[in-house]
């Protein structure tokens, strides 16, 4: 069976590696608890080593077998109490274990490894100074032959005597790998495992000459004999092993001649009619050094059924003192029980699996079924299945769930009495099936956790630290995919704790802590999720050092460093490039860690939460879903429209705020809405808003669809986008109290340390949904974690709870005080695009107005008494001429101008005339995003309104005010003589507000206007249209004005094109850059007169 050999070898290796891992942990346990040795631990290691020896010998991996053998000898010495495990010897054992592992991993080359040094080391434990070879050869050897004489074993007699004295029965089993394995539907490895589960395999003998492949016969034979000892009674052993009874020799003692063929352990009542072939003659068995004799081979034709007909006389003739075979024949009706070990079980407990449990009959052929209910029914419940098969099943289950959902929906609408019950039944079965299939993919965390004892042991040695590792919850199960991906992140966290967390003993002592640090790794279930906690009682994370480092690396600004909360500072550890260790060690690496750890965990649908207290320790908590492919989600809706799935894992609770309570429970701090929930303030996010902020959003005030600027400036990623968002919130704040009169559905969501409320329009059911990946065009959107297909066949996006928080910039909302500080800082810095400096002043005490500072010529302070009235106009004598004044209450519905001693006069120059606006007090000079609400306070003379410091401020339109005050001044400006054909102006401006406003001026003045929102669009429009004049903003996304101007100037097609630039705050540098690029003239955005003049210039 050449093809099978590789497969067999692979299985043997897998199997052995499992043992190796187990042995490693047990050895560590032995080391850690040297005072009180648990005999069961030694027994377990012994059994594992023994299995390795047996199984590898089976495959001709002799090096491994021999090393395992010596290994086992040491364990045997422990077991017998001849030696006591100590740190030194366990260390050697661990190294030997590692060596075995290496050899197993390279099984094919294992024969070329030099095991002698390792053997010598182990031998040194047994007998200091002894020669290695003496260990390999047991002191007293006995040769045993089986009853056919074809197989001979060389065994340690003392060891066998030991087993016999403990009530074990000694058997020689003749197996045939071909016959016994496939027929019983088990692989050779399972056969071996099965045997091992029932007892001990001492030696195997493999007779090459007997391997026989008959070309004509379909079957080949690969015979093999096993020297086996077990507590199982001779009457049951053949059945239990599911091998023909004549192939089991029962050795009653090691005396020469004592080995006799096993009784045909079959109850009398199942004896078949004598038509069956008679059994082969009782076979003589061989013992000691007698040369093997070869009696007649057992009739190959003897079918299994014939076993039943064989009388049990041979055993009866030589009854075993411990377990008379009579027992089996005498009480056949009695329900089978595990044979009671004749000695107290504490001496040697059989491996747990071997405790024979009797399941129901498993359909073994023939009448033996009744009597021989074998333990094999239990053991064989385990199958090795290819993972890809499970994956396929999982996918199919996913499709089935979709189908089920569709069926339920259809059944719901049809409402047929015959369909409904069927649908319900399918529903139940599908759920069950899905759960079961999911179960097949579940694995214990032990696979991951078992790495830790060794890791911690080695690390504590190399770092010179003392650490007590406590592991809990190894039995907790998770989806295979998750378990596999979990290993590296967890190891990283444990390494971090060991390296940066737990201090050296002397440091600990100095800090008044016990020298021995504690590292706890704990897994437990909570609310359908698995939590893993890694907690150390070490030094904790030094936040100030973390901040320093982040500051040095330019990850945060000094302002942020000052204002950030402790938890936010702790979050810095997840920024790429940060490592808190003072020296880079090979243990925790170079700080490429925690960010990768977190993103890896989040990819698994997990949440990483870090808590640390300086001097007290660090606690890392990971929340994981049980499985990834199918997740329970709450389906929500926006309006009557699209559905979104919210993973249940992130959902803590649902809150419905009744309309009557909205005003009371929803509050506003800064620009942020918060919900008062059990005394805490929960930041709120409106799903509709968050999603729309990425593209278009509906202005809640004007109800018009606006293009969000954030998308435009995303590439610049500077402060102004936040500022715009702030402004948007600020603007909303005045409105929402009126809006929020409908009840609110709030999903309380948690993501890491972040908790927020998501306001949705409608809640639907909870559904088990199948997670499907989004295509590459959609994958990058942070708001979504994937998509699913709903019962009606439509797609619904799955919301990414941390991603949404990120979109809503909740990081800042959490700490409102900090937010204010930050936005101040930004205000100071952000003297850039779309920001306009305005002068805020009072008319009456309550009435706030603002004017753009670039339009202000100067400000005067005059005595109120100097104001004169003439011809219905107000004016003041000033520097020898008369300055016209405007009292705003003359043109706007305001309270009368207060009686004050001194009046501030804000002077403007419009169409060649000076005019002053009267103000009672000047409030402030502010840099604000100039995106005005042009609807709420629409009126001639008012450009629009904005909210500054929670107060409505009206921005004046000086041009219009002048028009109201003195229309004649403007006549020649507003009604220009139209050229024969209206000049076509290309207006390039990214601010919606300015775009509209300026386009309005232009159209009023008879220009034809083509609009573009950025430089690139401008160039495209320029190509398509016949443009006479280009009027452009400078700071724009995608392509800025300077670049666009350069390209226009570079194109001979546009030679001589008149290009004017608009700027709200043109610094000299900007102007220089603009002129250099080819701008003809700079204009101030809101200076309507100057603008029109400049445009008309060529036509006048």
Partner 1 sequence: MTEPTGRSQTAQELVTFHLDHDLYGVEVEQVVEVNRDLIWTPIPGAAPYVRGAANLRGHIVTIVDLRKILDYDERPEDLAKTVIIVNSRDELVGILVDRIADVVEADRSLIESAPRNMPQTQARCLSGVLKIEGGLISLLDLNAALD
User: Would you tell me which residues interact with partner 1 (CB under 8 A)?
Assistant: 399, 402, 642-643, 691-692, 694-695, 772-778, 781, 783-784, 787, 789, 793-797, 1020, 1023
In three-state secondary structure terms, 487 is helix
**Closest separation in Å from C-beta 761 to partner 1:** 14
User: By C-alpha distance, which of 113, 112, 70, 107 is closest to 92?
Assistant: 70
SS3 content of the chain, % helix, strand, coil (to 5): 40, 25, 35
Cβ closest to partner 1, residue 644 vs residue 1007: 644
Q: Which helix (H) or strand (E) holds 609?
A: strand 607-613
**Helix (H) or strand (E) run with residue 628 in it:** none
Instruction: Name which of 47 and 1016 has its Cβ closer to partner 1.
Output: 1016
Least separation in angstroms between residue 918's CB and partner 1 is: 48
* Contact by Cβ (8 Å): 1045, 1078: yes
Burial of 860 (0-12, 13-18, 19+ CB in 10 A): middle
Quote the distance between the C-alpha of residue 1059 and its chain's center.
54
User: What is the nearest approach in angstroms of partner 1 to the Cβ of residue 15?
Assistant: 38
Q: How far is the CB of 430 from partner 1 (least distance, A)?
A: 16
- Cα 1010 from Cα 926, distance rounded (Å): 32
Shortest distance, position 784 Cβ to partner 1, whole Å: 7
H or E element in which residue 241 lies: helix 234-241
**Count of CB atoms situated within 10 Å of the CB of 80:** 11
Q: How many CB atoms lie within 10 A of CB 301?
A: 7
Kindly state the smallest distance separating residue 399's Cβ from partner 1, in Å: 6
Closer by beta carbon to partner 1, 655 or else 774: 774
Quote the CA–CA distance of 548 and 553 in Å, as a whole number. Answer: 9
Q: How far is the CB of 705 from partner 1 (least distance, A)?
A: 12
**537 and 513 in contact (C-beta within 8 Å)?**
yes
Which C-beta is closer to partner 1: that of 322 or that of 807?
Answer: 807
> Whose CA is closest to 528, among 714, 305, 768?
768
- Residue 503 DSSP symbol: P
* Euclidean distance between CA atoms 868 and 841, whole angstroms: 22
Q: Cβ closer to partner 1: 543 or 986?
A: 986
Cα(693)–Cα(688) distance, rounded to whole angstroms? 8
- List, in sequence order, every residue forming a beta bridge with 884; answer none if it has no partner: 875, 915
Half-sphere exposure of 566 (CA within 13 A, CB side): 8
- Which C-beta is closer to partner 1: that of 847 or that of 1017? 1017
Q: Is 90 exposed, middle or buried (0-12, 13-18, 19+ CB in 10 A)?
A: buried
Beta pairing, strands 835-842 & 921-929: antiparallel
CB nearer to partner 1: pick between 116 and 1023 = 1023
Closest to partner 1 by CB, 789 or 955: 789
Does residue 849 contact residue 954 with C-beta atoms inside 8 Å? yes
Distance CA 1, CA 682 (A): 68
| Contact (CB, 8 A) for 494 and 534 | yes
Q: Which is nearer to partner 1, 687 or 958 (CB)?
A: 687
Question: Would you say 785 or 946 has its CB closer to partner 1?
Answer: 785
In angstroms, what is the minimal distance from the CB of 774 to partner 1? Answer: 6
Angle between helices 480-496 and 451-463 (to 10 degrees): 20
In angstroms, rounded to a whole number, what is the distance separating the alpha carbons of residues 28 and 457? Answer: 8
Q: Which is nearer to partner 1, 374 or 693 (CB)?
A: 693
Of the pair 548, 1023, the CB lying nearest partner 1 is at: 1023
Query: Could you give the CA distance from residue 1005 to residue 1010 in angstroms, rounded to a whole number?
Result: 14
Residue 363: how many other CB atoms lie within 10 Å:
7
Distances, alpha carbon 466 to alpha carbons 35, 92, 508, in Å: 18, 21, 10
With tokens 């979109």, the residue in question is 807
Cβ distance to partner 1 smaller for residue 642 or 925: 642
> Residue 771 or 919: which CB sits closer to partner 1?
771
Least distance from C-beta 454 to partner 1, angstroms? 41
CB of 638 to partner 1, least distance (A): 9
Nearest to 472 by CA among 441, 514, 444: 444
**Minimal distance, residue 355 CB to partner 1, in Å:** 47
Q: How far is the CB of 822 from partner 1 (least distance, A)?
A: 25
805 vs 1034 by CB, closer to partner 1: 805
Structure tokens at 937: 């306070």
For residues 421 and 463, the answer to whether their CB atoms sit within 8 Å is: no
User: Nearer Cβ to partner 1, position 704 or 1068?
Assistant: 704
User: From the CB of 1083, what's the least distance to partner 1, in Å?
Assistant: 30
What is the closest distance, in whole angstroms, from the C-beta atom of residue 701 to partner 1 in the complex? 20
Nearest to 869 by CA among 893, 889, 886: 886
Closest CB to partner 1 among residues 577, 793: 793
Instruction: Rank residues 668 and 772 by Cβ distance to partner 1 and give the closer one.
Output: 772
Q: Are the beta carbons of 229 and 156 closer than 8 angstroms?
A: no
8 A C-beta contact, residue 498 and residue 489: no
Q: How far apart are CA 675 and CA 759, in angstroms?
A: 11
DSSP for residue 341: P
Dist. CA 1022–CA 117, nearest whole Å: 84
Q: What is the DSSP letter of 742?
A: S
Distance of closest approach, residue 303 Cβ to partner 1, in angstroms: 51
CB of 762 to partner 1, least distance (A): 16
Shortest spacing between CB 747 and partner 1, in angstroms: 17
At closest approach, how far in Å is the CB of 935 from partner 1? 25
Q: What do you get for the CA distance between the two ends of the chain, in Å? A: 102
């Amino acid at each position: 069976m050449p093809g099978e050999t590789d497969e067999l070898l692979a299985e043997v290796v897998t199997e052995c590696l499992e043992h190796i891992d187990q042995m490693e942990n047990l050895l560590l346990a032995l080391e850690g608890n040297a005072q009180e040795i648990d005999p069961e631990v030694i027994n377990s290691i012994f059994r594992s080593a023994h299995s390795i020896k047996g199984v590898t010998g089976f495959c001709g991996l002799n090096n491994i077998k021999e090393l395992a053998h010596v290994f086992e000898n040491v364990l045997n010495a422990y077991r017998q109490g001849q030696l006591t495990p100590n740190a030194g010897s366990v260390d050697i054992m661990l190294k030997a274990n590692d060596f075995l592992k290496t050899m197993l991993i390279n099984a094919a080359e294992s024969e070329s490894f030099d095991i002698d040094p390792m053997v010598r080391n182990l031998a040194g434990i047994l007998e200091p100074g002894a020669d290695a070879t003496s260990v390999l050869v047991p002191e007293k050897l006995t040769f045993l032959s089986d009853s056919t004489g074809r197989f001979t074993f060389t065994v340690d007699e003392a060891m066998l005597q030991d087993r016999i004295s403990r009530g074990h029965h000694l058997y020689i089993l003749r197996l045939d790998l071909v016959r016994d394995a496939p027929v019983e539907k088990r692989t050779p490895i399972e056969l071996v495992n099965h045997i091992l589960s029932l007892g001990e395999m001492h030696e195997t003998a493999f007779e090459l000459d007997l391997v026989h492949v008959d070309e004509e016969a379909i079957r080949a034979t690969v015979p093999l004999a096993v020297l086996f000892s077990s507590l199982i009674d001779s009457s049951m052993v053949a059945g239990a092993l599911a091998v023909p009874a004549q192939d089991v020799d029962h050795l009653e003692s090691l005396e020469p001649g004592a080995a006799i063929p096993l009784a045909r352990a079959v109850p009398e009542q199942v004896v078949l009619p004598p038509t069956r072939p008679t059994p082969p003659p009782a076979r003589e068995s061989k013992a000691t050094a007698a040369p093997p004799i070869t009696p007649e081979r057992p009739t190959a034709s003897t079918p299994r059924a014939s076993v039943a007909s064989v009388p049990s006389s041979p055993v009866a003739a030589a009854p075993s003192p411990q377990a008379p075979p009579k027992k089996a024949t005498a009480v056949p009706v009695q329900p089978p029980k595990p044979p009671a070990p004749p000695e107290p079980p504490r001496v040697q407990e059989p491996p747990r699996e071997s405790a024979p449990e009797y399941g129901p009959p498993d359909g073994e052929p023939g009448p033996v079924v009744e009597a021989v209910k074998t333990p094999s029914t239990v053991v064989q419940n385990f199958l090795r299945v290819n993972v890809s098969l499970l994956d396929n099943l999982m996918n199919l289950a996913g499709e089935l769930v979709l189908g089920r959902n569709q069926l339920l929906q259809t059944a719901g609408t049809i409402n047929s009495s015959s369909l409904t019950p069927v649908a319900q039944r399918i529903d139940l079965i599908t759920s069950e099936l899905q759960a079961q299939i999911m179960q097949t993919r579940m694995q214990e965390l032990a696979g991951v956790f078992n790495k830790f004892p060794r890791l911690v042991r080695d690390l504590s040695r190399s770092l010179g630290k003392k650490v007590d590792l406590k592991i809990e919850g190894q039995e907790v199960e998770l989806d295979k995919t998750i378990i596999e991906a979990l290993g590296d992140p967890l190891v990283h966290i444990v390494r971090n704790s060991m390296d940066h967390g737990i201090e050296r003993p002397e440091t600990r002592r100095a800090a008044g802590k016990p020298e021995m640090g504690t590292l706890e790794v704990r897994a437990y279930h909570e609310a359908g999720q698995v939590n893993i906690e890694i907690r150390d009682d070490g030094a904790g994370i030094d936040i100030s050092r973390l901040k320093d480092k982040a500051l040095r690396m330019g990850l945060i600004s000094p302002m942020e460093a000052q204002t950030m909360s402790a938890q936010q500072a702790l979050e810095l550890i997840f920024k790429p490039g940060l490592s808190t260790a003072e020296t880079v060690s090979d243990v925790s690496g170079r700080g490429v860690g925690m960010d990768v750890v977190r993103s890896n965990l989040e990819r698994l649908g997990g949440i990483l939460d870090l808590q640390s207290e300086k001097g007290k320790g660090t606690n890392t908590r990971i929340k994981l879903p049980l499985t990834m492919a199918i997740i329970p989600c709450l389906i929500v809706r926006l309006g009557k429209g699209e559905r979104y799935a919210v993973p249940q894992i992130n959902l803590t609770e649902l809150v419905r705020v009744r309309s009557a309570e909205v005003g009371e429970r929803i509050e506003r701090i800064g620009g942020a809405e918060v919900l008062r929930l059990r005394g805490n303030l929960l930041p709120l996010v409106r799903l509709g808003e968050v999603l729309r902020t990425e593209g278009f959003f509906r202005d809640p005030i004007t109800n018009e669809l606006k293009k969000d600027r954030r998308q435009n400036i995303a590439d610049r990623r500077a402060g102004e986008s936040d500022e715009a968002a702030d402004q948007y919130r600020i603007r909303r704040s005045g409105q929402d109290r009126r809006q929020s009169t409908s009840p609110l559905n709030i999903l309380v969501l948690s993501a890491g340390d972040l908790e927020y409320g998501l306001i949705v329009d409608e809640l639907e059911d909870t559904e088990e949904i199948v997670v499907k990946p989004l295509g590459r065009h959609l994958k990058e959107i942070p708001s979504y974690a994937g998509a699913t297909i709903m019962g009606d066949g439509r797609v619904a996006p799955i919301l990414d709870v941390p991603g949404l928080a990120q979109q809503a910039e909740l990081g800042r909302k959490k700490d409102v005080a900090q937010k204010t500080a930050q936005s101040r800082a930004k205000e100071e810095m952000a003297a850039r695009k779309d920001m306009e400096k305005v002068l805020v002043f009072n008319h009456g005490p309550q009435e706030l107005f603002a004017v753009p500072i670039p339009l202000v010529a100067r400000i005067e302070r005059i005595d109120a008494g100097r104001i004169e009235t003439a011809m219905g106009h107000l004016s003041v004598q000033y520097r020898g001429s008369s300055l016209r004044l405007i009292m705003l209450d003359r043109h706007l519905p305001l309270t009368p101008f207060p009686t004050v001693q001194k009046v501030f006069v804000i002077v403007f120059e419009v169409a060649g005339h000076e005019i002053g606006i009267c103000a009672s007090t000047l409030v402030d000079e502010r840099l604000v995003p100039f995106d005005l609400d042009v609807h709420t306070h629409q009126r001639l003379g008012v450009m629009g309104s904005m909210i500054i410091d929670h107060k409505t401020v009206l921005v004046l339109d000086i041009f219009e005010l002048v028009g109201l005050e003195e229309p004649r001044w403007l006549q020649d400006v507003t009604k220009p003589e139209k050229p024969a054909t209206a000049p076509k102006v290309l207006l390039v401006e990214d601010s919606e507000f300015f775009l509209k406003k300026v386009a309005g001026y232009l159209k009023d003045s008879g220009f034809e206007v083509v609009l573009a929102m950025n430089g690139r669009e401008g160039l495209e429009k320029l190509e398509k249209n016949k443009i006479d004049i280009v009027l452009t903003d400078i700071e724009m996304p995608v392509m800025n004005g300077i670049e666009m101007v350069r390209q226009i100037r570079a194109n001979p097609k546009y030679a001589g094109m008149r290009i004017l630039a608009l700027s709200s705050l043109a610094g000299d540098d900007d102007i220089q850059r603009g002129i250099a690029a080819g701008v003809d003239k700079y204009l101030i955005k809101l200076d309507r007169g100057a603008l029109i003049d400049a445009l008309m210039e060529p036509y006048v």
